[in-house]
Amino acid sequence: MGKAIQNEDYLFKKIYDNVLHRIERKEWKEDEKLPSVRQLASEMNVHRLTVLKAYQLLKQHDKVYVKDKSGYFVQSTVSKNLEYLNQENPIISAYVKKNHLSEIHQPSFSYHFSQALIDPNLLPNHYFSDYVKEVFDLYPKVLATYSTVQGDLELRETLTQYFINQYKTHLSADDLLITSGSQQAIHLVAQAFIKPRDVVLLERPSYSAAIDIFSAQGAQIVTVDIHPEGYDLEQVEYYIKQYKPRLFYLNPTFHNPTGYTVSIEQRKKLVELAEHYRFLLIEDDAYHDIYFDEAPPPPIYTYDSAGTVIYIRSFCKYISPGLRIATVICPSSLMKSLLTEKSLADNGSPLLNQKIFLHYFSSLRLQQHLEKIRIALQIRKEIMEEELAVTGWRWISPKGGLNLWVQLPDDVPTELLLSKSIEQSISFVPGQVCDPLKQLSSWIRLSYSYANEKQLSEGVKKLVTVAQSLSK
Ligand SMILES: Cc1ncc(COP(=O)(O)O)c(C=O)c1O
């Protein structure tokens, strides 16, 4: 019985995804009639009720509409866009793009559980003035010079040596590109490798800004569920054969928002799939060093010998978000395209930031800092978990990263919880924002890294009280 329900659930999602992708691929145009429930059920070899359920959910999500008795039709977006264009500037309006996370982060809150950022009090701020002075002494013209587009050679050499020491892989400074944060790297990848209607695989849930970046580029997004033990690789292979994606963007280490980490076996298998079916793996590794007990497995790129992985490593979270330093390790055949995009974006990241970062990164302080920050974050995570223990809400305790991915009971309406929490100056990220399909409405992401211990304890208590007052 349990298996049958699971199977039905899987099929229903498959139909939902399939119809959505076909609509997005314009196989059926706006206001065009979709196949009848009976036709699609026989085409896909499933029960009619499964198709009906998928159509109903598509209707609920405004992707299709029903015309009396004549069936389901593709929703038109024209009227909505016109509405938007008429809104403000009568001469020209911007094209509609969204960054869902930045909209949530805008106001300031007393209990900030929406920011996957580390409390500035835990970062090595006061040391930076030493490095700024050192950098100006060593490079008096640093502000009078551009960096190279690829990034400061001294920094790339230092990082190359760091990666070689860590993973014993063959690497040269030419394989590295310095970007202004990993978010810019994702953006450059999307610009360089994705054209409208190309298929991109994304984890579900996923890092919200990545969803927005690939969507804004016009990609057809196919979702791969991420579980505590990783992906269903049979499902991944099925999607690869079916949709022929250009790339799979993934965050396999202390994944945002779930905190899950993909095993070594799956890492190796993903590289094999990418080599065999010829698509790119874009490995986003923003949380690699933020672990609690043991270090995570080596990055996927270390198993790649055929040039199928672009590896993005950010140092923003735990060294300095303000310096905006991340690096991309890119196969040489693809580097030229990324360099062109980088030169079009900003002609190279600020040299001063790269030099300050380099001097801190090469110092002994970094290791001590990392050790301290791991303990501080583990304590904060435990405080949040202790406060939530009374609720019966469900989550899997992460072994690293900055977030708890929490499932609320069905009777807690998440949207209302968010608006009521905001009234109490508490913020969190609703699950829908992290879902390329904009569902997962009973999940929320709570970051334990930005608020201090007192704020965590007070804020989570308040959040629980708000939720309890809303549950039926
Ligand atoms: C998975 C992931 N990738 C990339 C980023 C962007 O980080 P940054 O641009 O600061 O390096 C974040 C930030 O939250 C993230 O969670």
Q: Which CATH number fits domain 125-364: 3.40.640.10, 3.40.50.10860, 3.10.129.10, 3.30.530.50?
A: 3.40.640.10
**Residue 10, pLDDT above cutoff 80:** no
Give residue 182 CA to ligand 1 midpoint distance, Å. Answer: 6
Per-residue pLDDT, averaged over 351-365, amounts to: 95
Cα–Cα distance for residue pair 104/421, rounded to 1 Å? 12
Give residue 54 CA to ligand 1 midpoint distance, Å. Answer: 33
**Domain 90-121+367-470: CATH superfamily, name plus number:** Aspartate Aminotransferase, domain 1 (3.90.1150.10)
State the pLDDT at residue 59. Answer: 86
Give residue 277 CA to ligand 1 midpoint distance, Å. Answer: 28
State the pLDDT at residue 232. Answer: 97
Per-residue pLDDT, averaged over 415-424, amounts to: 92
User: Are the CB atoms for 458 and 382 separated by under 8 Å?
Assistant: no
User: Are the CB atoms for 162 and 154 separated by under 8 Å?
Assistant: no
Question: What percent of the chain is modeled with pLDDT above 90?
Answer: 74
Atom 6 of ligand 1: nearest residue by CA position: 183
Give the pLDDT confidence of 73-126 residue by residue, as tens digits: 998 764 444 444 444 444 555 555 666 666 666 568 899 999 899 999 999 888
Structure pTM?
A: 0.81
State the pLDDT at residue 8. Answer: 62
Cα–Cα distance for residue pair 30/198, rounded to 1 Å? 19
Give residue 423 CA to ligand 1 midpoint distance, Å. Answer: 28
**Ligand 1 contact via 320 beta carbon (within 6 Å):** no
User: Are the CB atoms for 209 and 232 separated by under 8 Å?
Assistant: no
Q: How far is CA 30 from CA 68, 76, 113, 129, in A?
A: 17, 5, 40, 58
Cα–Cα distance for residue pair 115/112, rounded to 1 Å? 6
**Ligand 1 contact via 117 beta carbon (within 6 Å):** no
Cα–Cα distance for residue pair 102/302, rounded to 1 Å? 33
State the pLDDT at residue 314. Answer: 97
Look at 125 and 354; give whichever has higher pLDDT.
354
**Ligand 1 contact via 403 beta carbon (within 6 Å):** no
Pocket test for ligand 1, best of 113, 183, 203 (most atoms within 8 A of CB): 183
The CATH class that applies to domain 2-76 reads mainly alpha
Domain map (residue ranges) of the chain: 2-76, 90-121+367-470, 125-364
State the pLDDT at residue 154. Answer: 97
Taking CB atoms within 8 Å and a gap of at least 24, the contacts of 391-398 are 391/464, 391/467, 396/228, 396/258, 396/259, 396/260, 398/254, 398/258, 398/259, 398/260
Strand arrangement of the beta sheet that strand 247-250 belongs to: 176-180, 325-329, 309-314, 280-285, 247-250, 199-204, 220-225
Give the pLDDT confidence of 242-291 residue by residue, as tens digits: 999 999 999 999 999 999 999 999 999 999 999 999 999 999 999 999 99
Cα–Cα distance for residue pair 279/193, rounded to 1 Å? 11
Give residue 92 CA to ligand 1 midpoint distance, Å. Answer: 32
